[in-house]
């Protein structure tokens, strides 16, 4: 054997196992979601949706079996960096999927960016994740906090409201949802006269409701979700405010919460990238499959989990399961048309869904679609450079 043949043989002996490891064997998905606290139900719905899509593909993507490792992030930003490092360093996950809370998601994005680990965000809307923190390996299947807020700003101005009070939790999601709302509402001539906040995840609303009553705005815009949204809607009605000051919100106010809110939610109008009654074949088949698998109706969080798995599939199919082909993976997801139950969406330059935002109204325990409030709304991706 000549020297060239020998060195090729040695090189291939070293190259084969590495290449082999990238394209076959299990893919470890690290699910970092809340299993406890005010967002626990949201985490379960995201996980259900993700698992449903994988099940529909026979448990495999691009021929590789999908294995799960889970961490309860408790929606606690203080524990987030440790939690994500556990998944990367201890569990050696190939892909991170998480999470619900914006503050936790920003910590995940920081670590994902520094380590180059693929991250798909299935809910948290933190604007920075697809803004200043954007990266080729970070994608979102959900929304930016700006998106539903901006759409509602336009919708409420169009309804003729002029003077609005906002109320939310004091953290990234609340602040950014209100900022998006204010940007559109004030551009159209409205005025936000008071911005009320309380710390996340507090639900002691009474003093703030009294302040709303004494301010007498035309309407109220709010961001709450999960258990906090249930309590806010019930307290708003118990204070009698629903009779005099119309309440609006980003759609999380009434998504996955209607059973618990009961009659107190009837008539509420919200904006979101999903709704009941879309009546498309794609949404109907998703709803049937979800109800069959989990004995539950899906909500927006389930859709976002399902679509996070679709994003992973789009990338993995393009690289034939070789997650080492990072550039090709990114290019494929950038070009993908994700066939979501919400309607087809594409990725913006900063990897956030470009999607229709629906105006919905609660009736008979459903978030019924009224119209498209903003067609193909693109998050501005402020500060994103890649
Ligand atoms: C967030 O923290 O980004 C968030 C949490 C729940 C629902 C929507 C957004």
Asked if the model's pLDDT at residue 113 lies above 80, the reply is yes
Section 190-203 average pLDDT: 98
For ligand 1, mutation pick of 98, 128, 252, 379 (most atoms within 8 Å of CB): 252
Q: Is 102 in the pocket of ligand 1 (CB under 6 A)?
A: yes
Residue 111: per-residue pLDDT:
98
Ligand 1 geometric centre to CA of 36 (Å)? 15
Residue 115: per-residue pLDDT:
97
Q: Is 125 in the pocket of ligand 1 (CB under 6 A)?
A: yes
Section 58-62 average pLDDT: 98
Residue 278: per-residue pLDDT:
98
Asked if the model's pLDDT at residue 10 lies above 50, the reply is no
Ligand 1 geometric centre to CA of 168 (Å)? 11
Average pLDDT score over the chain: 94
Asked if the model's pLDDT at residue 20 lies above 60, the reply is no
Cβ contacts of 139-143, under 8 Å, gap ≥ 24: 139/311, 139/333, 139/347, 139/351, 140/351, 140/352, 140/353, 141/304, 141/305, 141/307, 141/308, 141/310, 141/311, 141/338, 141/353, 142/273, 142/304, 142/307, 142/353, 143/272, 143/273, 143/352, 143/353, 143/355
Which domains can be identified in the chain, with CATH numbers? Answer: 11-143+278-351 (3.40.50.2300), 146-272 (3.40.50.2300)
Asked if the model's pLDDT at residue 378 lies above 60, the reply is yes
Nearest CA to ligand 1 atom 6: 225
Residue 23: per-residue pLDDT:
80
Q: Is 120 in the pocket of ligand 1 (CB under 6 A)?
A: no
pTM of the prediction? 0.94
Residue 7: per-residue pLDDT:
41
For residue 22, name the pLDDT band (cuts at 50, 70, 90). low
Section 297-306 average pLDDT: 98
For ligand 1, mutation pick of 76, 145, 304 (most atoms within 8 Å of CB): 145
Q: Is 360 in the pocket of ligand 1 (CB under 6 A)?
A: no
Q: Is 225 in the pocket of ligand 1 (CB under 6 A)?
A: yes
pLDDT, tens digit (0-9, with 9 covering 90-100), for 115-130: 999 999 999 999 999 9
Residue 229: per-residue pLDDT:
98
């Amino acid at each position: 054997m000549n020297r060239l043949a020998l060195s090729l043989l040695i090189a291939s002996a070293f190259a084969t196992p590495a290449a082999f490891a990238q394209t076959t064997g299990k893919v470890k998905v690290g699910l970092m979601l809340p299993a406890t606290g005010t967002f626990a139900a949201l985490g379960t719905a995201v996980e259900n949706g993700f698992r449903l899509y994988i099940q529909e593909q026979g448990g495999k993507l691009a021929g590789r079996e999908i294995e799960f490792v889970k961490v309860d992030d408790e929606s606690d930003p203080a524990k987030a960096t440790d939690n994500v490092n556990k998944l990367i360093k201890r569990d050696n996950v190939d892909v991170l999927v998480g999470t619900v809370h914006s503050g936790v998601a920003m910590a995940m994005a920081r670590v994902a960016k520094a380590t180059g680990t693929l991250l798909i965000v299935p809910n948290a809307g933190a604007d920075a994740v697809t803004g200043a923190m954007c990266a080729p390996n970070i994608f979102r299947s959900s929304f930016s906090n700006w998106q539903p807020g901006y759409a509602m700003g336009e919708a409420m101005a169009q309804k003729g409201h002029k003077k609005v009070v906002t109320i939310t939790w004091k953290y990234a999601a609340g602040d950014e949802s209100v900022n998006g709302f204010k940007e559109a509402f004030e551009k159209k001539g409205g005025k936000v006269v008071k911005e009320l906040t309380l710390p996340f995840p507090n639900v002691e609303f009474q003093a703030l409701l009294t302040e709303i009553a004494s301010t007498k705005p035309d309407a109220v815009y709010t961001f709450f979700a999960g258990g906090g949204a249930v309590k806010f809607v019930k307290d708003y009605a118990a204070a009698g405010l629903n009779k005099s000051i119309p309440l609006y919100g980003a759609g999380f106010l009434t998504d996955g919460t209607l059973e618990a809110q009961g009659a107190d939610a009837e008539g509420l109008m919200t904006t979101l990238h999903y709704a009941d009654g879309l009546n498309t074949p794609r949404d109907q088949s998703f709803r049937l499959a979800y109800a069959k698998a989990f004995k539950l109706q899906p909500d927006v969080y389930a859709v976002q989990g399902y679509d996070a798995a679709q994003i992973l599939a789009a990338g993995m199919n393009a690289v034939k399961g070789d997650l080492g082909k990072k550039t090709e993976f990114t290019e494929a997801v950038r070009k993908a048309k994700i066939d979501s139950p919400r309607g087809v969406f594409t990725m913006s330059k900063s990897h956030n869904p470009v999607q229709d935002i629906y105006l919905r109204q609660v009736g008979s325990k459903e978030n019924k679609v009224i119209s498209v409030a903003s067609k193909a709304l693109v998050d501005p991706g402020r500060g994103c450079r890649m």
